[in-house]
Structure 1
Amino acid sequence: MPALVDGGVVVTEVAAICAYLADKFPEKRLAPEIGSADRATYYRYLFLAGNTIEPAFSPMAAGIEHPESRSV
Structure 2
Amino acid sequence: MSSIPLFKYPNAEVFVNVASSQNPPLTTVKQDMEVMGERAAEELLHMIKDKTYAPQVIIVDTTLIKRGTCTSPN
> Which has the higher relative contact order, 1 or 2, with Cα contacts under 8 A spaced 6 or more apart?
2
Structure with higher Rg: it is: 2
Is the pair's TM-score, using the shorter chain for normalization, greater than 0.5? no
TM-score by length of 1: 0.30
TM-score by length of 2: 0.30
Structure with the bigger percentage of helix: 1
